Amino acid sequence: MSSWRDRLRGGLAKSRSGLVEGVAALIRGGARGEEETREALEELLLAADVGPVAATEIAARLARASQRSDAEEALRDELVTRLDGCERALDLRTDGEPTIFLMAGVNGSGKTTTIAKLAAHLRAEEADLSLTFAAADTFRAAAAEQLAVWADRLDADLVRQRPGADPAAVVFDAIAHARRVGGALFVDTAGRLQTRSDLMEELRKIERTVHKRAGRGSDERLLVLDATTGQNGVRQAERFHEAIDLTGIVLTKLDGTSKGGVVLSIWEALRVPLAWIGVGEGMDDMHPFRATEFVEALIS
């Protein structure tokens, strides 16, 4: 089994070859004037999805570098500085109340598999931790089945109702259960487009139900975002943040994209921290986000 560092590096290969190799080639090229180099660098940074403002500012700094090592050092420095404060640790409550994780996002972003990965990670740290999964994706019958398979494998309790039931009702039951057994409660919700106001209202209703039943909001309201979405991801994050006041983002599928810079776009646009990142489908392919580790894996 390779280490997380190796898998992260492997997962960021596309982003690295697009951005870092591209920057190196431009600096090596040398023949162009500073202005032309700066424009080409800006395009590279935009293609990596670092966001328009950061692209302009970082390109201006990189264009002054005369060697590959200087450019890499400047890029590393820019990214680490800009990502300061972007990490968020997902800690469990210590007051005996269950820690409630509400997972939201568009269709297929990785919500359900992220629950399995996070739950497995928490279990590895605390072997006797109680886990409850709430199948609040009542939209498709197959969704509860998928969660049931994970609950079975991870020895988690599953709270579900019939297909088509009100997701908030599932959450209502699940909180009652989780308050009896403690530990962590993961609420799996249906994929929804951020532009569908009825579905976003449904999500708000779920969160209101948590308030009513638990006497507080979900401890973590996480947007699971597919990194291959690119700049649309920023718009998704804005809408989900408006709806449920996100505490963090889980960025999945970084392995499938050269747009690893989206990490920065979202942070600079919304200041919602990045909790976890995923670089593959395996259970060990997801880890807490650490800015310096991420930048190191991207650049060197």
Residues that bind ligand GTP (CB under 6 A): 105, 107-113, 137, 143, 191, 224, 252-253, 255-256, 278-281, 285
Query: Residue 238: exposed, middle, or buried by beta-carbon count in 10 A (0-12, 13-18, 19+)?
Result: middle
Q: How far is the CB of 291 from ligand GTP (least distance, A)?
A: 18
Which helix (H) or strand (E) element contains residue 80?
helix 68-82
Q: Which stretch binds Mg ion (CB under 5 A): 19-27, 103-111, 192-200, 210-218?
A: 103-111
Question: Cβ-closest residue to ligand GTP?
Answer: 191
Label each residue of 200-245 as H, E or C. HHHHHHHHHHHHHHHCCCCCEEEEEEEHHHCCHHHHHHHHHHHHHC
Q: How far is the CB of 174 from ligand GTP (least distance, A)?
A: 17
Other beta carbons within 10 Å of 181? 13
Dig out the tokens for 39 from the structure: 């424009």
Q: How far is the CB of 12 from Mg ion (least distance, A)?
A: 25
CA distances from 172 to 103, 138, 158 (A): 16, 14, 13
- Quick one: 71 or 298, whose CB is closer to ligand GTP? 298
Integer Rg of the chain from CA: 21
The Cα–Cα gap between 45 and 59 comes to 8
Q: How far is the CB of 212 from Mg ion (least distance, A)?
A: 25
Q: Do the Cβ atoms of 46 and 55 come closer than 8 Å?
A: yes
The Cα–Cα gap between 225 and 81 comes to 23
- Quick one: 183 or 191, whose CB is closer to ligand GTP? 191
- State the binding partner of 110 from Mg ion, ligand GTP, none, CB within 5 to 8 A by kind: ligand GTP
Q: How far is the CB of 137 from Mg ion (least distance, A)?
A: 5
- Quick one: 65 or 118, whose CB is closer to ligand GTP? 118
- State the binding partner of 218 from Mg ion, ligand GTP, none, CB within 5 to 8 A by kind: none
Q: How far is the CB of 110 from ligand GTP (least distance, A)?
A: 3
- The 5-44 contact track toward Mg ion, x by CB under 5 A, reads ----------------------------------------
The Cα–Cα gap between 178 and 180 comes to 5
For position 112 contacting Mg ion by CB under 5 A, the verdict is yes
Which chain residues interact with Mg ion by CB under 5 A? 111-112
